[in-house]
Chain A
Amino acid sequence: MMKNGDEDAPHQGNAPRPRAGDSGLRARQKVIGMGLKRLYDNVVEEPVPDDFADLLSRLDDTSGGGEVR
């Protein structure tokens, strides 16, 4: 699948800094972090279903002041 082409040579190509495995690790974690953000943002960017607007408009009727349980 679409991963780094050669898993035995993760530092090939133009990896940012040549400072041994550490910078490669950090670079990979950064990419993973971007992927995580992308997954999350994909949901954030989904259109919000109409039920939510309905729900918020109904909230007016309820009395406030309760406590989170």
Chain B
Amino acid sequence: MNAHEVASRPAPSPAEEKEFKDGLLEAIPYVRAFARTLCGSKAPADDLAQETLTKAWAARNSFQPGTNLKAWLFMIARNQFYSEKRRSWRSVAWDEDLAEARLVAPATQSFNVDLTDLRRALTKITPEQREALVLVGAGGLSYEEAAKVCGCAIGTVKSRVARARQALERMLNGADPDALPGRHEVPQSEDLIEEAQRITETGGGDPER
């Protein structure tokens, strides 16, 4: 996506434009979901998703047909998110009102995960790990595609995903009980929201820590 590539590609035909737009339409739910991971809550995430679509349309000549449109859109969303400094590093990684404590495990499993616990655990890992894990583990991107989205090496993505998985497993398996404060108490969503707001207001943490 450098200037030369853009200049060298002929303008897309109307049919290609339509195809691109259809692709955008199909990708909207995924862009929203990834934006939710970045922003933490619905309204800012949808703003980011809309900006992403607008940017993608404006830059449609630089999209390489045949490559993963979803991954390309995630990259735009991510760049946009970080360039706008909309940092909400430790805010909730999905709205509390979503995914109400539903169990996810076949009956044969001896280990169950409460989604509220999982959502909370996701806020405790680093943003880099969370993003890598979501792209690969939920978004269905290959390590290579995720590396492109995050602007890092494939090996870096692999190690972030592995570390994220280990950390979540430790927290959710009770090996690190302090990691999930309030787990055994009433839901702490208000506290989390307050904390998130406080962090947002004070400018948040350092992303590169």
B-binding residues in A (CB < 8 A): 1-4, 7, 10-15, 24-25, 27-29, 31-46, 48-49, 51-52, 55-56, 59, 62, 64-69
Task: Report Cα–Cα, A62/B117, bound state, in Å.
Answer: 44
Most chain A CB within 10 A, of B60, B102, B138, B184, is at B138
Is B153 among interface residues, defined by CB-CB distance under 8 A? Answer: no
User: Closest Cβ of chain A: how far from B79's Cβ, in Å?
Assistant: 7
Taking a contact as CB atoms closer than 8 A, the residue among A3, A45, A56 that contacts B112 in the complex is A3
Max chain A C-beta neighbours (<10 A), residue from B21, B33, B60: B33
**CB of B169 closer than 8 Å to a CB of A:** yes
A-B contact count (CB 8 A): 167
Q: Is A32 touching B99 in the complex (CB atoms < 8 A)?
A: no
What A residues does B53 contact at CB under 8 A? 52, 55-56, 59
Q: Are A46 and B57 in contact (CB under 8 A)?
A: no
Q: What are 28 A-B contacts with C-beta separation under 8 Å? A: A1-B101, A3-B172, A4-B173, A10-B110, A10-B111, A10-B173, A13-B108, A13-B110, A14-B108, A14-B110, A25-B169, A27-B110, A28-B173, A32-B118, A36-B118, A37-B138, A38-B99, A39-B93, A39-B122, A39-B138, A43-B98, A46-B29, A52-B28, A59-B54, A64-B17, A66-B59, A68-B55, A68-B76
Across the interface, A28 reaches (CB within 8 A) one of B1, B103, B169, namely B169
B1 nearest CB across to chain A (Å): 6
Question: Chain B 1-36 against A: per-residue CB contact (8 Å), 1 yes, 0 no?
Answer: 101001000011000010001001100111011001
Residues of B within 8 A of A59 (CB): 21, 53-54, 57
Kindly state whether residue B174 has any CB partner on chain A within 8 Å.
yes
Q: How far is the CB of A63 from chain B (nearest CB, A)?
A: 8
Restricting to B103-138, which residues have a CB under 8 Å from any CB of A?
Answer: 103-105, 108-119, 122, 133-134, 137-138
In the complex, which residue of chain B has the Cβ closest to the Cβ of A45?
Answer: B29
Q: Which residues of B contact A31 (CB under 8 A)?
A: 104-105, 109, 111-113
A49 to B43 alpha-carbon distance, docked (Å): 11
Q: Which residues on the B side are within 8 Å of A44 (C-beta)? A: 29-30, 32-33
Q: Which residues from B are CB-within-8-Å of A41?
A: 33, 138
Chain A's nearest CB lies how many Å from the CB of B117? 7
> Hey, which chain B residues are within 8 Å of A38, CB to CB?
99, 102, 104, 115
Q: Does B61 have its Cβ within 8 Å of any Cβ on chain A?
A: yes
Shortest Cβ gap from B104 to chain A (Å): 5
In whole angstroms, what is the CA distance A2 to B100 when docked? 12
